[in-house]
Amino acid sequence: MEIVARSSSFPTADSEYQKSKNIINFSEGLCLKKKSQLKAKNPIPQLRKKRKNPPIEDKPFPEFIEQHYEPALKEALSQQGISDLELEFKKDQFPLPGADECSQVIGQWDGGKRRFNVYFLDDDISGQKAFSYTAGGSAPSTIESFMIDERKVNLELLVMYTVQRLNGQKWLARN
């Protein structure tokens, strides 16, 4: 049973509460009515909450990179005309003296002449990231921060920013 408060300012003669046989009036102005009757008169149907699968970005970091990021990046770059792309995910030395190892996605094509690295310094897609590129097999000369303004990182953004960065180097299309 549910308790419903009644105010003295409401009209009582025509009230639904007075007409119903399932109402008990108390001197304090409280009414009791069965819950089943209240639900039956509710015009909004009760919606069942569907269980959503957790976002793929919540998967463990190595699983996300290997099962989702690498295939999506390979597909996006193949649409840009790169057919011989090789991607590798590994933990390797960050290319600064005295720096620790970090997780990296290393991509290369054109017989290894063009190479880029996406560094995940915190082993987390939402953590600090860096980017470097090199042509002709030399060591990277510049390491740039990568996706520093993004609060919420997802697969689509990660792939888009990588492709955008490679396109900015004019490696994908002649602008």
CB burial class (10 A; 0-12, 13-18, 19+) of residue 81?
exposed
**Contact present, 2 and 35 (Cβ < 8 Å):** yes
Lowest mean pLDDT among 28-37, 45-54, 120-129: 28-37
Torsion angle in degrees (nearest 10) through CA of 120, 122, 125, 131: -20
pLDDT digits (tens, 9 = 90+) for 136-146: 877 777 888 98
| Cβ(130)–Cβ(145) below 8 Å | yes
Task: pLDDT band for 132, please (50, 70, 90 cuts).
Answer: very high
Report which of 45, 37, 36, 44 is spatially closest to residue 16, judged by C-alpha positions: 37
CA distances from 26 to 3, 4, 23, 36, 42 (A): 11, 11, 10, 21, 24
pLDDT score of 148: 86
In the prediction, which pLDDT does 64 show? 93
